[in-house]
Structure 1
């Protein structure tokens, strides 16, 4: 009887860890740990203008965890999603599944 309880507990713990790992691996965005004050952020219009001057066609700009999340198309017609610094508009590294 004790073995059955121990096995059931082990299975429950393993399932909980697997669910937590799956949830964590779904996050592939950038995050700012020292987010600048919102008053210092580049406006959405300024960011769009900067990107369009670089040859991109901007489709959507959102904020996500303190950064700009931008969906756009490059000059070759390829869809691009980028996380950009909210003050400078420079690209930020994305966290992938290996992080």
Structure 2
């Protein structure tokens, strides 16, 4: 009886792991902006205006890999994570609760 429960639990754990591993990852390290050397980047402070124009409340901005990463709240109060190209300040990808909700046309990074 115990070994049958263990086998069922093991099967469930294995199935959950397989699903999790097959799903696309949305971690910070997955976004690549191909921005070139930092000497060509715009100052991160210039990004504040873009965030304001999006009608977001800025929580935090930082460099992540070769992108600018923004943590903010939308005007509806939803927490988001967004990535911007540091040379053009173009919005590239936006995530909410781990789900991608925006991707710039043609961006594959």
Q: The TM-score by the shorter chain falls in which range? A: 0.5 to 0.7
Tell me the residue number matched to 2:70: 70
Report Cα offsets for 1:14-50 as digits up to 9, x if no partner. xxxxxxxx7xx86622123x33221221212110122
Please give the TM-score of this superposition, normalised by the length of structure 2.
Answer: 0.54
Alpha-carbon distance in structure 2 between the residues aligned to 1:55 and 1:92: 17
Greater RCO, CA 8 A, separation 6+: 1
User: Is the 8 Å Cα contact of residues 44 and 86 (structure 2) preserved in structure 1?
Assistant: no
Gaps of 5+ in 2: 1-20, 99-109
2: CA distance between counterparts of 1:37 and 1:89?
15
Aligned length: 77
**Take 2:37 and 2:79, find their aligned partners in 1: how far apart are those partners?**
30
Partner of 2:27: 28
Residue 52 (structure 1) aligned with residue 86 (structure 2): no
- 1:70 is displaced (CA, Å) by 0.7
The answer to which structure has the higher strand fraction is 2
| Residues 57, 73 of structure 2: 8 Å contact kept | yes
Rg comparison, structure with higher value: 1
- 2:17 aligned residue: none
Q: Give the unaligned 5+ runs of structure 1.
A: 1-21
Q: Cα RMSD (Å) of the superposition?
A: 3.1
